[in-house]
Structure 1
Amino acid sequence: MKLIGMLDSPYVRRVAVSLKRMGIAFEHESVSVFQGMARFSEINPVIKAPTFVTDDGQVLMESSLILDYVEFLQGPGKGLMPLTLAERTQTLRLTGLALVAYEKAVQIHYERNLRPAERQHGPWLERVSGQLKTACGELERELKARPLNAGMDIGQDGITIAVGWSFIQLVVGDHVSGEAFPVLAGFSAEAEALEIFRTLPMV
């Protein structure tokens, strides 16, 4: 199996850390969707990161769909998602909040770095920044009420949260600070200290 994409993408890194957490062997090809468009298009013509190539040559994309495939491949109880409905629902909620934060951080980053300053739309940036802060606020509240384990048995919700927080701090840390969300920041720091994260650094 092969994972294509740069680890500075939270979506790519989320898949990579999850695969490593499950002990699944994979080859990682670090290709940029910007500088490496020609190479990327050879593997996936729509140039979407992450791209995942299965052992039988199927090309998958979108991190959640890739991880759904891997969960099925592992079998019940051997993946990173809980088996009971209540636990799975809570995991899906936390994962969803973290993915919203990813999306909003990416939108802010692209608006500020790909669009000329005179063409950046202030109201749009304000709205997206508000959504990012709200998503982080909801995660902070959830983690206070029901702390997650940031140890070696970390689940999909914890991986998604920690990867997302590190990405947010890297690209839009001026919008969301650790001082404002200490529980979220503390949890993510603990997770980032794990070997599965340290061996797959974002930068």
Structure 2
Amino acid sequence: MELVGMLDSPYVRRVAVSLGLMGLPFQLRPLSVFSTFDQFRAINPVVKAPTLITDGGAVLMDSSLILDYAEQLPGKRRSLMPADLDERVRVLRVTGFALAACEKAVQLVYERKLRPADKQHAPWLQRVQTQLHAACEALEAELVAAPLPSAEETMDQAGVSAAVAWLFIQKALQPGDVPAERLPGLAAHSARAEALPAFVSAPFDSSGWKPL
């Protein structure tokens, strides 16, 4: 399999870390949807990261759809989605909050970096920031209620997505946008997760990627 995209995207990194934890080998092709647009378009005309090229040559996109495919593959070391329905509902709920946090953080990055300052709409920025804070606070509440697994052998998709979302927020947004001291549980979970081999092998800087 080949994963196309840059690891500074939380969606690309979420897939890379998950594949590593599942024991599914892949190659990373670190193409940018901005600086290497034409190269990316030659693979996927929609130019959407992440894109996955399966062993059979099919082109898939969207992190959740790619991971749904990966969960069905034979030979994986383990699943990141629990079989028990109640546990699965919690993983889906927490993953939803994490993906919402990613979405709102990405919107802030795009608004600030791609739109001229005099064209930015303050009420829209405030709304997105409010949604981002709500998603992060929901994640913190979940972690206070019941910590997420953070060991290599027990990490699930909720744990992956929450940790990836938190690092992206801290790396990509402005200092103070989402203060770590307000979300100690989320920050601590992310720190523990980032020490795991699957996370270390897929660093935020794509140039440091190495297969497990």
Give the CA deviation at 1:174. Answer: 2.5
CA contact (8 A) 2:22 2:76 kept: no
Q: Distance in 2 between matches of 1:198 and 1:76?
A: 20
CA contact (8 A) 1:5 1:12 kept: yes
CA contact (8 A) 2:5 2:12 kept: yes
Matches within 5 A, 1:107-126: 107-126=107-126
Q: Distance in 2 between matches of 1:129 and 1:26?
A: 35
Q: After the TM superposition, which segments of 4 or more aligned residues of structure 1 sit over 6 Å from their partners?
A: none
3-state secondary structure, aligned to 1:147: coil
TM-score after normalising by structure 1? 0.97
Q: Distance in 2 between matches of 1:77 and 1:42?
A: 32
Give the CA deviation at 1:42. Answer: 1.1
CA contact (8 A) 1:162 1:188 kept: yes
- The structure 1 residue matched to 2:176, chosen from 170, 174, 177, is 174
Counterpart of 2:159 in structure 1 is 158
Gaps of 5+ in 2: 206-212
Q: Distance in 2 between matches of 1:123 and 1:81?
A: 38
Give the CA deviation at 1:148. Answer: 1.1
Counterpart of 2:2 in structure 1 is 2
Gaps of 5+ in 1: none
Give the CA deviation at 1:76. Answer: 9.9
Q: Distance in 1 between matches of 2:96 and 2:8?
A: 20
3-state secondary structure, aligned to 1:69: helix
RMSD of aligned residue pairs (Cα, Å): 1.3
TM-score after normalising by structure 2? 0.93
CA contact (8 A) 2:22 2:77 kept: no
User: Aligned residues: percent identity?
Assistant: 55
Give the CA deviation at 1:75. Answer: 7.9
CA contact (8 A) 1:81 1:88 kept: yes
Counterpart of 2:210 in structure 1 is none
Q: Distance in 2 between matches of 1:19 and 1:70?
A: 7
Matches within 5 A, 1:1-203: 1-74=1-74, 78-153=78-153, 154-172=155-173, 173-203=175-205
